[in-house]
Structure 1
Amino acid sequence: MTVLKTSVLVLDCADPEPLARFYAELLGATAGPATGDGELILVTGDSGVVPLGIRRDRNHLPPSWPPPEDSQQAHLRILVADDDLDEAEREAVALGARPLAAEEDGSRLDDRTTLRRFSDPAGHAFVLAAVREDPAAHGGDR
């Protein structure tokens, strides 16, 4: 018998409350404390899926992006409908995301038509990725 499990991507930062609010606004979700874990805030979507956790790390140092060795780092990929990519970018920037130029991470400039790269207010990398189908079909909430 397989034991029921779930997983969540957790981002560490020095001040988790503002970062949790950033992602809750960006994802159209809510943020609140995790049951039984006083150090973790969960960003939860309307469907009840927990897409993201934010944890306090008083000694946190923001990640470098792109990494000096040009190695792949973990990043959050947020799926949006193809026609909504420009609006999703405006929302992210208005909430405090910092756009990363394609040349900063070694990508081609023409990739910008389907991917937009950012760092969140705490410096974590994330990507807005256009999909032709409904993003919810890929496991997204919106």
Structure 2
Amino acid sequence: MSPLMKLSAITLDCAEPRVLAAFYQEVTGLEPHPRSDDDFASLRSGDGDGPIIGFQRVDGHRPPTWPEPAVPQQLHLCFDVADLDAAEARLLALGAGKPEWQPDEGRWRVLTDPAGHPFCIVVG
């Protein structure tokens, strides 16, 4: 049985699409889509296979306040890494944030992108 649907994109709301796309480009190695602009930017794999990650401008965007529920996280991305400490250090140097509360820091880390979206790094 073939799948009914194939995931083609994941899009995050933010205030500055190009800035957030540049962050994720640096950490994933994905390539910018040639039609990115100030209102929408996206990244894709070089071979075009797999979903794109999109970033769309939303006026008055309020970043998630994870783990506080005032502004829910809305969604989060998870990335496999070879070494948690090394990946965390690189991501923090690139502009990621690290919330004080970590649910299981020995197994995974919760970080936030420059727009405040939580994402996880997990030994994969």
TM-score, normalised to structure 2, is: 0.80
More helix by percentage: 1
Tell me if 1:42 matches 2:35.
no
Shift of 1:61: 1.1
Conserved in 1, the CA contact under 8 Å of 2:13 and 2:56?
yes
Corresponding letter in the other structure for 1:101: E
Corresponding letter in the other structure for 2:62: L
Look up the match of 2:111: 118
Conserved in 1, the CA contact under 8 Å of 2:73 and 2:117?
no
Shift of 1:95: 0.6
Deviations 1:67-97 (A, max 9, x none): 337x77421111112xx22211111101100
Write the distance in 1 (CA, Å) between the matches of 2:5 and 2:111.
34
Look up the match of 1:88: 87
Look up the match of 2:15: 14
Aligned pair count reads 121
Look up the match of 1:101: 100
The 3 A distance-change label for structure 1 pair 3 and 65 is closer
Percent identity over paired residues = 39
Write the distance in 2 (CA, Å) between the matches of 1:87 and 1:77.
16
Look up the match of 1:129: 122
Shift of 1:17: 0.6
CA RMSD of aligned residues (A): 2.8
Uncovered stretches (5+) of structure 2, i.e. residues with no partner: none
4+ residue segments displaced more than 3 Å: 1-6
Write the distance in 1 (CA, Å) between the matches of 2:121 and 2:6.
27
The 3 A distance-change label for structure 1 pair 4 and 89 is same
The 3 A distance-change label for structure 1 pair 40 and 3 is farther
